[in-house]
Amino acid sequence: MATKHYPTPMLDVLEEGPWPSFISGFKKLRDEHPDERIRNVINGLMGQLEHSYETKMGYWKGGTISVFGYGGGIIPRFSEVGHMFPESKEFHTLRVQPPAGNYYTTDMLRQLADSWEKWGSGLQTFHGQTGNIMFIGANSVNYQHFFDEINEYGWDLGGAGPCVRTGMSCVGAARCEMSNCNEHAIHRRLMNNFTDDVHRPALPYKFKFKVSGCPNDCQNAIERADFAVIGTWRDDMKVNQEAVKEMIMKKAKEIGKEGDRSAGRQYMFDNVISRCPTQAIKLNDDDTITVDNSNCVRCMHCLNVMPKALQVGDDKGVTILIGGKRTLKIGDLMGTVVVPFMKLDTEEDYERIVEMAAEIIDFWAENGLEHERCGEMIERIGLVNFLEGIGIDPDPNMIKQPRNVSYVRTDGWDEAAEEWFNRKREEKAAA
């Protein structure tokens, strides 16, 4: 027997125009899916969405639900108009952690999809803002069954609420020549160590780990992560001068001036040399380039546009920034450099980064206010007090942002500088 469809004239408008529409996907599930339960659920969902558009109000309310043994990982959604659209009166979302680097096989994806169509609505999102796979639309009877099934073959819930959230890492060295660290090993080491903090919310608010293998920061870690790990290098970038010369002639050909060396050089000036923010790269008369590595700020522009000619250095490691977040109490914050450079080659190095993360989380848990991110706490108590609390000495390379003005106070500058140089001499002697 055919199900009577709720009228959706306002939703239908969203299918007009050249761009794909999520409404088309909803209708395909509603009209073509072989499971009558899923067809009915999507029909009810579209009816409620149309009602929300008509009244300009949302009708989902939260609640408290979880799978056995967990305190988070599910976003409850109960409909306030369930009497009007009973097919979708419960529409909970399960957050499931993706593999490091978002590497999937088609078998993995089919297995997840089959389980979700068995127990849920069939709607999925890859990926949510935090990085989770979002399985949208389970009722209170089936969400536990879905979790049990996917957990049996290796998947786990992500974080939701005041806890350590799902970590994210970029594709890394497997696909990218800019990689400076083992992104996926860092991701897994951190998340495996803090699994209990993911599943049992007990923190002031959310805490996010994100790992990007180079300063391109494809994971937006600096802007969004409380604990951002950014791959970098501290020696000179590698230059292939022959590839530079080839690029000059290649670009001359691409702009319709084949063989015109001056046109290729002009392209290089306009698109590479002049765009270096610190003017650290110079094009010589013989079509070679000279890089002032001491002034390179790792903006990555030249390496991105000349990947054959320029490559990252060999002395690789990571920079750690703390406190990035989006708007809440005091607006957006970028992460502040707390560890300018750290090698991650040995087991001891990985243990050190985990211990540092644990120290930061513990300090924030004790000193953060309710609903206050780690960066907001640092703004409130001051960076010096934060560094003292986690046992890290101040360093001139702990950069939050470039200076806005040319004036700077130098109270106690000489004493602080002498203390820093003494500490560096002691470290060098100890090494």
Please give the chain's pLDDT, 431 residues, in tens. 457 899 999 999 999 989 999 999 999 999 999 999 999 999 999 999 999 999 999 999 988 888 998 988 899 999 999 999 999 999 999 999 999 999 999 999 999 999 999 999 999 999 888 889 999 999 999 999 999 999 999 999 998 889 999 999 999 988 999 999 999 999 999 999 999 999 998 999 999 999 999 999 999 999 999 999 999 999 999 999 999 999 999 999 998 888 889 999 999 999 999 999 999 999 999 999 999 999 999 999 999 999 999 999 999 999 999 999 988 778 889 999 999 999 999 999 999 999 999 999 999 999 999 999 999 999 999 998 999 999 998 888 887 776 676 777 778 888 888 888 998 899 889 88
Question: So where are the chain's domains?
Answer: 1-160, 161-232+318-430, 238-311
CB atoms within 10 A of CB 392: 17
Q: DSSP letter string over 277-334? A: TT--EEE-TTS-EEE-GGG-----HHHHH-TTTEE--SSEEEEEEE--B-SSSS--BP
CATH number assigned to the domain covering 1-160: 3.30.70.2500
Report the alpha-carbon angle 146-134-204, nearest 5.
100
Tens digits of per-residue pLDDT, 244-259?
999 999 999 998 888 8
Side by side, the strands of the sheet bearing 336-342 are 168-169, 209-212, 227-233, 316-322, 336-342
* Reduced 3-state DSSP string for 397-429: CCCCCCCCCCCCCCCCHHHHHHHHHHHHHHHHH
Which residue type sits at 46?
Answer: M
Q: What is the pTM of this model?
A: 0.89
Tens digits of per-residue pLDDT, 51-71?
999 999 999 998 888 899 898
Spatial distance between the Cα atoms of 245 and 250, rounded to a whole number of angstroms = 9
For residue 32, the surrounding DSSP H or E stretch is helix 22-32
Same fold: 1-160 with 161-232+318-430: no
Helix (H, G, I), strand (E, B) or coil at 66: coil
Question: In the CATH hierarchy, which top-level class contains the domain 238-311?
Answer: alpha beta
Most distant CA atoms of the chain, gap in Å: 85
b vs e for 186-213, b when ≥16 Cβ sit within 10 Å of the residue's Cβ?
A: bbbbbbebbeebbbbbebbbbbbbbbbb
For residue 93 the two structure tokens come to: 């979302």
Q: Which residues, including other chains, have CB under 8 Å from residue 110's CB and lie 6 or more apart?
A: none
* Reduced 3-state DSSP string for 143-190: HHHHHHHHHHCCCCECCCCCCECCCEECCHHHCCCCCCCCHHHHHHHH
CATH number assigned to the domain covering 161-232+318-430: 3.30.413.10
For residue 325 the two structure tokens come to: 């977040």
